[in-house]
Chains A and B, each alone.
Chain A
Amino acid sequence: MNKGYMALSIAIISEVFGTTMIKLSNGFTELLPLFGVVAGFGSAFYFLSVSLKELPLSLAYAIWSGVGTALTAILGIAIWQDPFNAITFVGLALIVGGVVLMNASTGKEQETEPSR
């Protein structure tokens, strides 16, 4: 896996972790989850910035926000019994499809354009 995508994956996992901790922090009143929020988002922004050294902003940001939202939704359904309905399904499918399309579109570009 290329370094840019590696950093982007860590950024996404950190963001999902931070978002989950927001929920656990109970309106920022629980101390330990609050540290989790700060650590999660700190790490998310750091690794997103690292990934942007190699990946185009338009690609990395869309994947970050899309996959982050999708994973948070899946966790919500799995852990917090959030409703899973047609809208959720279509939303998840669009994000997965969109990420696949974007990666298909940049495959060639990256071969010809070495990392800076």
Chain B
Amino acid sequence: MNAYIWLTMAILFEVFGSSMLKVSNGFKRLVPSIGVIVGFGFAFYCLSIALKTLPLGNAYAIWAGVGTALITLVGIIFWREKLNTKKAAGIICIIAGVILLRLANPSH
């Protein structure tokens, strides 16, 4: 299978795991807690397969950048979190910074 499909799956599982992190209410609810472990477990598994063919720096940069952007959307859509100009600009700056740092030095 194409490495980008594995990377996409890794990102989607990460987004699922992070969303369950919020639902788990500090790991006090069982089913969402299992969702966190399963989500991140599959995320790292898919990422490791994607990394067999993709360059480490690019894959990490895409995974962290797209993952954070999607999780922001999940917060806004499902938890009705407010997004104003400052916050949007802040998130974009952070994502850009993370992508640059991970491209510059893949070991992060």
User: Provided the pairs A45-B40, A50-B26, A57-B18 are in contact, do residues A102 and B94 lie with their beta carbons within 8 angstroms?
Assistant: yes
Closest to A46 in B: B27
Q: How far is the CB of A9 from chain B (nearest CB, A)?
A: 16
Interface of B, secondary structure class, is: helix
User: Would B75 and A57 count as touching, CB distance under 8 A?
Assistant: yes
Contact-residue size bin, chain B (C-beta under 8 Å from the other chain) = 35 or more
Closest to A65 in B: B68
Measured in the bound complex, the distance between the Cα atoms of B24 and A49 in whole Å is 7
Contact-residue size bin, chain A (C-beta under 8 Å from the other chain) = 35 or more
Interface of A, secondary structure class, is: helix
The 0/1 profile, CB within 8 Å of A marked 1, for residues 13-46 of chain B is 0000011011011110000000010001000000
Q: How far is the CB of B41 from chain A (nearest CB, A)?
A: 12
- Told that A19-B108, A45-B36, A58-B83 touch, could you supply 10 new A-B pairs with CB distance under 8 A? A57-B19, A58-B71, A58-B81, A62-B95, A65-B64, A66-B94, A73-B101, A91-B99, A98-B91, A102-B94
